[in-house]
Amino acid sequence: MVVLNRIYTRTGDDGTTSLGSGARRKKYDLRVDAYGTLDEVNAVLGLARLHTAGDSMLDAALGRIQNDLFDVEADLCLSEKGPGGARLTVTEAQVAWLEGEIDRLNGELSPLKSFILPGGSAAAAWLHLARTVCRRAERIMVELMDQPGEGVSAPSLQYVNRLSDYLFVASRHANDMGASDVLWAPGQNR
C-alpha cells in the first residue's frame, strides 16, 4: 500500500531523485528517464481513454495496461533486487495477455496496404502518440540495459516492446476497425 501524506519533500531541489532502493540519482539519469517516459505513456493513455468510453473492451484493456505500466515503472525504479531477490515487475503472463490482445484486435482488421499516418479519430490520434512515446521509452530502456552495472528485466522490456505494437493495432481498431485510417500517399506532394 502506498501512502502519500506529503507531496513535496524538497529532496529533489539539488537535481536528484530517489530510486525505490533509496539510492539517489540525477534526474537526467537513464533509469529515471526510462520510468519517467513510461509515465508519459501512461498519461497519454489517460487522454486516449477520454475517447474510448464507447468501446468498453478497448477502454478496459487500456485501463489494465495503465496499471501494468506502473509495474514496469516499479521495476525500473529499482536498480537492484530487493531483500530476498523480490522485485515488482510485469510477468511473462502479462506479456502473453498483451500478445493475445494484439492478436484479437488485429484479427478484426483488414491487412494493411500502406503505412498509416497518425490521425483519424481522436482516440486513434492519442493512441498513436502513446505508441511513439512508448517506442522512445523502449529505446531508453535498451540504452539503460547496455550500461555497465545496470539492468532491465526481460519481461519489462518485452512488455514495452509489445505495448507499442498493441497501441498501433488499437489505434486502427479505434479508427472504425481501420476504415478511417489515414493512409500515407508516397510522393503525393512532389
pLDDT: is 146 or 32 the higher one?
A: 146
Partners of 117 in the beta sheet?
Answer: 182
CATH number of the domain residue 49 falls in: 1.20.1200.10
Q: Is residue 166 part of a domain?
A: yes
Residue 120 lies in a domain: yes
Residue 147 lies in a domain: yes
Q: Is 5 inside a domain boundary?
A: no
Number of domains in the chain: 1
Flag whether pLDDT at 88 surpasses 80. no
3-class secondary-structure state, position 171: helix
pLDDT digits (tens, 9 = 90+) for 155-184: 999 999 999 999 999 999 999 988 899 999
Domain-embedded: residue 3: no
Give domain status of residue 35, yes or no: yes
pLDDT for the residue numbered 80: 58
What does the pLDDT read at residue 7?
A: 64
β-sheet bridge partners, residue 183: 116
List b or e across 95-121, with b for residues whose CB sees 16 or more CB atoms inside 10 angstroms.
bebbeebbeebbeeeeeeeeebeeebb
Q: Is residue 8 part of a domain?
A: no
Range of the domain at 68: 24-80+87-178
pLDDT, mean over the chain: 87
Read off the pLDDT of residues 126-138 as tens digits, 9 standing for 90 and up: 999 999 999 999 9
Question: Which are the contacts of 112, defined by CB distance < 8 A and separation ≥ 6?
Answer: none
Does 118 fall in a domain?
Answer: yes
